[in-house]
Structure 1
């Protein structure tokens, strides 16, 4: 029975997390259409890639005991594919200066992961110490990414509008954090539950802010016709940034 519950929570957590990993597709459809990275930053996606690499490695039998953390491998494996795709798309459409910045950030990050993987595999000879090393670093990376939702919430408070904090993303964020917190507690793994222990209160705060400021959102009057093209592009860019921030916030939950 306990095993069935753990599996059910893991499956639901995987589904919620994958939905959030896929959220930036809207942003990158814009990048491809405009053939420009505009004001978007690639840094969150590179850090997200590092986080997914760390927790995929953490879930593999090299670090964990056999396949006890298989759900981490599945969800973060999908995360690696998506985050890497975002980074490559960004690199392709970035300016020459932007390409240099991406390379100067991505190469050291991948090098750091390679060192961590090598040390954990060859310097330690038991799963306990390997999990302690990789899990501690992964936990640290995850927790540092919780600044992104705070930026979104600050914008909501300043504008008194939830226009740029979509309810579906906030709900998925909240559900994913709760599910991974429960899963981490069920398997008694602080490195799995830890990020969500921080993320769950933030998810609740997002929903509270949504309930408080949702009436302040601007509702389009159909009689006024379509918005000007420039305003539409501005709104699209802002929503893309919010999706990036919320998704980045979720990278550590899995």
Structure 2
């Protein structure tokens, strides 16, 4: 396995893990935890379905060794999620405490998800290339983080505006890095073509 393939796999696994945490969060917006949260529940429910399909496709086509690692990671993630969900539903009867526990857990998972590109951003700075940081992904991290940050601020929901404010900031940094280094790869490739010609 080449260095690029190894990095690709590592970031894919980390992205799947953090994305799964994020998209398993619809339970945090369900009516028995927090009322009037239809928009949050709808998008997270859709995200959970889509991300589950991604994980399933990965598990079907992954090599046996990688499949075992991902299944182990998936079991750990589902265990943590199940503990939080079960404790909030069965052990905590006060609605405000339940909302705080689930909101805190969702905030942690969301920040982890938004922080997952930090190592890619480091690589962009180090290599001066945006090869591993697609523009559309960076753009939608920014747009999604910004939208939910504003939504959370307007609704005075700390569990929405804190992690999404973090996402907005990281999305902004990614777009700035993309603007700085977007032509680097093109320039290097044109030099290679010139030398080969």
TM-score by length of 1: 0.65
Aligned-partner SS, 2:129: coil
Q: Which residue of 1 aligns with 2:27?
A: 57
Unaligned runs of 5+ in 1: 1-36, 226-254
Whole-Å Cα distance in 2 between the matches of residues 147 and 109 of structure 1?
17
Instruction: Determine if contact 2:152/2:161 at 8 Å carries over to the other structure.
Output: yes
In structure 1, what is the equivalent of residue 18 of structure 2?
Answer: 47
Q: Distance in 2 between matches of 1:73 and 1:153?
A: 30
- Taking the aligned partners of 2:12 and 2:51, their CA distance within structure 1 comes to 13
Deviation, structure 1 residue 118: 1.6
1:210 aligns with 2:178: yes
Q: Distance in 1 between matches of 2:128 and 2:98?
A: 46
| 8 Å Cα contact 2:18-2:112 kept in structure 1 | no
Give 1:82's aligned residue.
50
Separation in 1 of the partners of 2:142 and 2:106? Answer: 20
**Cα deviation per residue 1:95-147 (whole Å; 9 max; x = unaligned)?**
33223222222123222222221211122223211110111111112223343
CA distance in 1, matches of 2:9, 2:73: 18
Greater relative contact order, per chain length (Cα 8 Å cut-off, separation 6+):
1
Q: How well do the aligned residues superpose, as a CA RMSD in angstroms?
A: 2.5
Structure 1 residues 209 and 123 mapped into 2: Cα distance closer, same or farther (>3 Å)?
Answer: same
Is 1:152 equivalent to 2:127 in the alignment?
A: no
| Deviation per residue, 1:42-95 (Å, 9 max, x gap) | 3431332232222x1111101002xx1111111111111121111111111223
Q: In the TM superposition, what are the counterparts of 1:7-156 in structure 2 within 5 Å? A: 41-54=12-25, 56-65=26-35, 68-156=36-124
State the Cα deviation string for residues 197-226 of structure 1 (Å, max 9, x = none).
21222222122222222232316989x99x
Q: How many Å separate the matches in 2 of 1:154 and 1:38? A: 17
Please say which of residues 82-91 and 176-185 is displaced more in the overlay.
Answer: 82-91
Q: Aligned residue for 1:192? A: 160
SS of equivalent to 1:63: coil
TM-score, normalised to structure 2's length? 0.82
Which is helix-richer, 1 or 2?
A: 2
> Cα distance 1:39–1:133, how it changes in 2: closer, same or farther (>3 A)?
closer
Give secondary structure in 1 for the equivalent of 2:130: coil
Q: Distance in 1 between matches of 2:12 and 2:169?
A: 26
SS in structure 2 opposite 1:144? helix
Provide the secondary structure at the position in 1 that maps to 2:132. Answer: coil
